[in-house]
Chain A
Amino acid sequence: MAMSMRRTLVGLYRGARYSLKNVESSVEARHPLPLVLPVRTKKRYFIPPAVGMKGKKHEDPEAQARAAGIVIQQQFMERPINIACTAGVFDPYIPPEGDARLSTLSKEGLKQRTEQIRQSAASQLAIRKIKEHDSLFSTKTFAEQAQEIFIEAHRALTQFNKEKLHSLVTERCYPEMTRGNRHKTIRWSFVESLEPPRVVHARCPDMVTKGNLYGQVTVRVHSKQTLAIYDRFGRLMLGSEEQPKDVLEYLIIERHLMNPYGRWRLHGKIVPSWAPAKDPVIRTILIPGPQLKPWEEYDTLNHEVPKPAAVQWYK
């Protein structure tokens, strides 16, 4: 490459000198004009990268600037995080055994009823605190309102309407409701309410600072619902669309009382430990067994399949 360029330059130079000699001899002979006409080599359309970059790897422009003494004004990016709901259920309600099993007319049923009517003192305190901040709150109308919120939230879940769901359900409850449901079709319908909904429990926890009050109210809902979940390919995974089921639930509705624009939203659900077992999913699930050594057989090992313990979970 370089050799060919030099050769052409030398040739031109000689040629120029010859022509000049012929035309003007005396003046130009003392200053031999170099006449550097760079003849272009073949244009390389591809320049291979990283030709001189082999040694250059550890360059820190920040450190270099600091060493040079240049000061750059640091802009602190502050992003305020707004917490609009509590992280869990504060002092969850423990539903009495056999809640929806006993008829109100029997002796046990009446006893349960009288106990329930006279709520605990903490709940009364909490309700009074809520009434301080939210003047429209009333135990009698709130239960109906809670049921409405519940129905609307589940309807929004079937349509997967994110904005509406966020307005009806707290941020803590949202991932629990929607996890794994993004690519599934859910068909849910509220058939009827078997008993009028009732407020059973209320608490007023405060988060972080002392005055930051949230109100959590537990509402008992006994209703008939149908649920059918179809997977991504339209195959039935759980439940059935025609067969309604009786459901006894304790819904926790929460509101940020300090916030004047706060709304009552569904925060969670309590399922008692004595609730009847749910229907199994329509598929076989592999429960991982013990790791066998090459000489062992599964039949000889006395391995018990672990059964899930019946605990009350509040979610």
Chain B
Amino acid sequence: MAAAGTGSGFVFVRNVCGLFRDSSRLAVLARPQQLSWFHSSSSLSTKNWEKKNLKVFPPQLPEEARRPAEVHHCRRQIKYSKDKMWYLAKMIRGMSIDEAVAQLEFNDKKGAKIMKEVLLEAQEMAVKTHNVEYKSNLHVAESFSSKGKYLKRIRYHGRGMFGIMDKVYCHYFVKLVEGPPPRPEQKTGLDQAREYVQKLKDRTVIHSL
């Protein structure tokens, strides 16, 4: 069995060498810009959301449209489940900040209180450091939760059995953008009908006369 194994291995290696000996592959190797199939930037830090606040844009020309201000804020290692937090994060997506704060204030979940604190902190940051003029002129552009580092504990079962219990933690990220919240496009029935008819007309009929 061992001998057969090495034999097949030899054949495999020869095939692989043959592949590389191919001229096209050589051409690929020769091109200098193609040598970027290794990962060049190396950083272990995963705290990238906070770094988004440090990006500086070049000064705008007078005829350009005014760029809306963006504030990224997050809270790490919240003692709550990421799945439960998701429901609240999905609720406030697209709301204006006042609306979002009001909704979270009267929500009974534990994560709502923490989320409200995060939003208020972000609003204050925006006004103080990021040159946002009116604190109500912000809306929630992005809001999501992710898994934090869990602690593992033992959950004792009967008959000497045990299970590993996870003490769940989550992170919560929010991005506030200056301006009124974007209005979702209202499609009327007539528009939908028109689109449907157009789709029917755009069909290509093959093998026809």
User: Which residue numbers of A lie inside 8 Å of B, CB to CB?
Assistant: 1, 46, 48-51, 180, 183-185, 187, 228, 230-237, 283-284, 286
Contact = CB atoms under 8 A, between A and B. Distances in A.
B60 A235 contact: yes
Contacts of B69: 231-233, 235
8 contacts: A51-B154, A185-B56, A187-B59, A233-B70, A234-B58, A234-B60, A234-B67, A284-B134
Contacts of A233: 57, 60, 67-70, 131
A232 B130 contact: yes
B54 interface: yes
A239 to B, nearest CB: 12
B152 A48 contact: yes
A126 B91 CA distance: 70
B127 to A, nearest CB: 8
A48 B164 contact: yes
Interface in B139-175: 152-154, 160, 162, 164
B54 A183 contact: yes
A298 to B, nearest CB: 18
Q: Chain B interface residue count: which class?
A: 20 to 34
Contacts of B57: 232-234
A83 to B, nearest CB: 31
Nearest to B155: A48
A231 B129 CA distance: 9
A228 B60 CA distance: 12
B154 A183 contact: no
B203 interface: no
Given A48-B152, A48-B154, A185-B58, A235 B164 contact: no
B93 to A, nearest CB: 22
Interface string B184-202: 0000000000000000000
Given A180-B129, A233-B67, 4 more contacts: A51-B154, A184-B56, A232-B69, A234-B59
Contacts of A234: 57-60, 67
A186 to B, nearest CB: 10
Contacts of B133: 283-284
Nearest to B165: A48
Nearest to B68: A233
Contacts, number: 57
Main secondary structure on A side of the interface with B: loop
A35 to B, nearest CB: 27
B189 to A, nearest CB: 41
Contacts of A228: 59
A38 to B, nearest CB: 19
B47 interface: no
Residue from A184, A185, A232 with most neighbouring chain B CB atoms (10 Å): A232
B53 to A, nearest CB: 8
B66 interface: yes
Contacts of A180: 129
Given A48-B164, A49-B152, A235 B131 contact: yes
A230 B54 contact: no
B130 A235 contact: no
B55 interface: yes
B164 A232 contact: no
B55 A232 contact: yes
A232 B132 CA distance: 11
Contacts of B164: 46, 48
A46 B155 CA distance: 13
Residue from A180, A183, A184, A187 with most neighbouring chain B CB atoms (10 Å): A183
A231 B58 contact: no
B130 A231 contact: yes
B84 to A, nearest CB: 25
Contacts of B56: 183-185, 232
A136 B67 CA distance: 52
Contacts of B54: 183
Contacts of B67: 233-235
A232 B130 CA distance: 7
A283 B131 contact: yes
A180 B131 CA distance: 11
A237 B58 contact: no
Nearest to B58: A234
A230 B59 contact: yes
Interface string B80-109: 000000000000000000000000000000
Contacts of A184: 56
Contacts of B154: 48, 51
A48 B153 contact: yes
Contacts of B135: 286
Contacts of B160: 1
